[in-house]
Amino acid sequence: MTTKQILVTGATGKTGSIVYQKLKQNQNFEVKGFARDPEKVTELFGSTTGFYFGDIKDKSTLESAIKGCQGLVILTSSFPKMVAPPKPGERPQFEYDADSTPELVDYQGQKNQIDAASAAGIEHIVLVGSMGGTNENHPLNMMGNGKILIWKRKAEEYLVNSGINYTIIRAGGLLDQPGGSRKLLVGDNDELLNNPPDGIATSIPRADVAETVIQALQERSAINKGFDLISYPEEDSQGAVTQDFAALFAQTTAAKF
């Protein structure tokens, strides 16, 4: 079997670093990482070997990294910062840096990646987003008035319309917990968020999201699918831990907006 070259953007993030490490350990793939900060890469991975550096807001910096790749995993995201510690009884206030707003990072930055992938002949893009994008009043959209989930959805729609094979994974709340011990659930357009089965939390370990990315790169039933992803709590998953990802992806459909 011929190995596929995969570029992972956002590879120093909490989920991106797990995806990068999993791909590095998988003999079916050769992986490249894309990041902004060489020091952070060295801190996480011990060296900068296999990494390319640039800014997704500048499409030209992606060109050398994506050259020769067959797949792209998009894990970039903007992040707000707290304006100041809240006073007792008040909610914290957040803002985005002017050059790192959701419109610039989650929309324009992802468009740049999709355009670069198209120019390079990429066969498949796996984009990791977030649930909640159908609700303009979702708390994440309110943070810093950035409308982050709205911009992420616009980028997803741009990917679908690009003509490149895609898999869009809209993850629930991300947990810093081990993966591989839960039953995973897929849904569509926030159905799970609005009506979770058995009243479970709409969350999932980052490691399970990362494994879903790896499987999506290998399973044909993940091609041209868009879905929400959460998990049952570990204690409720005994005997039903998700292992057959082809069957999981078969439950999903093309992305709808």
Look at the alpha carbons of 154, 156, 160, 163 in this order and tell me if their dihedral is positive or negative: positive
In whole angstroms, give the CA distance from residue 170 to residue 153: 10
Measured CA to CA, the distance from residue 23 to residue 202 in angstroms comes to 26
Of 182, 178, 249, 188, the C-alpha closest to 213 is: 249
3-class secondary structure per residue, 88-155: CCCCCCEECCCCCCHHHHHHHHHHHHHHHHHHHCCCEEEEEEECCCCCCCCHHHHHHHCCHHHHHHHH
Active-site hit among 130, 181, 231, 237: 130
- Which residues is 205 bridged to in the sheet? 175
Using a CB cutoff of 8 Å and minimum separation of 24, what contacts does 242-247 make? Answer: 242/182, 242/183, 242/184, 242/208, 245/212, 245/215, 245/216, 245/219, 246/219, 246/220, 246/221, 247/221
Q: Which helix (H) or strand (E) element contains residue 22?
A: helix 14-24
Catalytic annotation on 130?
yes
Distance between CA atoms of residues 78 and 27, nearest Å: 31
Q: Is there a contact between 210 and 216 (Cβ–Cβ < 8 Å)?
A: no
List residues with catalytic annotation. 130
